[in-house]
Amino acid sequence: MKAFVVTHHGPDGLEAADVPVPAIGPHDVLVEVRAASINPLDVMVRNGEFKQLLKYERPFVLGHDVAGVITQVGADVRDFEVGDEIYARPRDLRIGTFAEQIAIDADDVALKPGSLSFAEAGAVPLVALAAWQALVEVADVKPGQKVLVHAGAGGLGSTVIQVAKHLGAHVATTASSKDVEKVRALGADVVVDYTAQDFTEVLSGYDVVLDSLGADSLERSLTVLRPGGLAISAVGPPDPAFATQLGKPLLKPVMALLSRKIRRRAKRLGVRYSFLFMRASGAQLTTLAGLYADGTLRPVLDRTFPFADTMAAMAHVEQGRANGKVVVTRGAPT
């Protein structure tokens, strides 16, 4: 089958290739891929940024989001059957959605929201899970709390705004002037136009900040939190709790060293810091499917590319040109 594989780490490490159709285990489903979205995580994994933690054996198929149709089920699978339309974020070390087919553990799969196209459903698993886990599990956001979401017009930010509003939060976001109305339509109560304003000068007393921009934005975000507030970063540095999440407690000292600077600064300011690395969860995707089906949440797409142009889709994301999720699509076989 056709796929896009990482042959070596680096910007030129992704290539088109012919690979075998994956075999399925007793608890797996085989999925014919109809859509897969591009995430910054794909770029990071291709470049080897997590190679000490996620030890993929090259060559490996890239891709963390999928929507498609089940074509085969393992002997122990009870909740799905051939023909089901599903969406998923396959677990780490079992990624590979930039392909014609993928085998996925059934625990990572949920039925596709009926109101969404394959392209729309393929855009949301990773960002929806990240938003849910950050706001519900890590931050435990309650109605009336104040949440700041950076880059509200992007794939992750646009989803976090919607989930935060669903949870009853007062939501602020940063966006460019051209996207102010877009993020307001998603539910943002306060929009800081970063081309004209410094968010640290206009915001204060926030309970939670979710940052996906990087070190400078994260450090400055600490200053807008109330005492005891929480800054969550989706781009690092990893903290000791991440070693526990990976099941590698021996790495806690390494994680502590990597995040020492930001944790010390947070402590001096009387606030907290947490690194977020979302995990696969079919159960949470089932909950989220209900929110997409009833219109509480909606996908925000930038554009779609045909599967053959996956490399161009990756470049589009890397160049920072995406305003929403970028999706590659495959038609049904004839």
> Where exactly are the structural domains of the chain?
2-124+299-329, 127-275
The model's pLDDT over 175-215, given as tens digits with 9 standing for 90+, comes to 999 999 999 999 999 999 999 999 999 999 999 999 999 99
Specify the fold of 2-124+299-329: Quinone Oxidoreductase; Chain A, domain 1 (3.90.180)
Distance CA 129, CA 279 (A): 8
- Nearest residue to 145 via CA among 62, 196, 197, 209: 209
The model's pLDDT over 309-333, given as tens digits with 9 standing for 90+, comes to 999 999 999 988 788 999 999 987 6
The predicted pLDDT at position 334 comes to 43
Model confidence at 263, in pLDDT bands (50, 70, 90)?
very high
Arch. (CATH architecture) of 127-275:
3-Layer(aba) Sandwich (3.40)
The model's pLDDT over 136-150, given as tens digits with 9 standing for 90+, comes to 999 999 999 999 999
Residues 6+ apart with CB under 8 A from 149: 157, 160, 161, 164, 171, 172, 173, 174, 188, 209, 210
**205 neighbors 223 (Cβ within 8 angstroms):** no
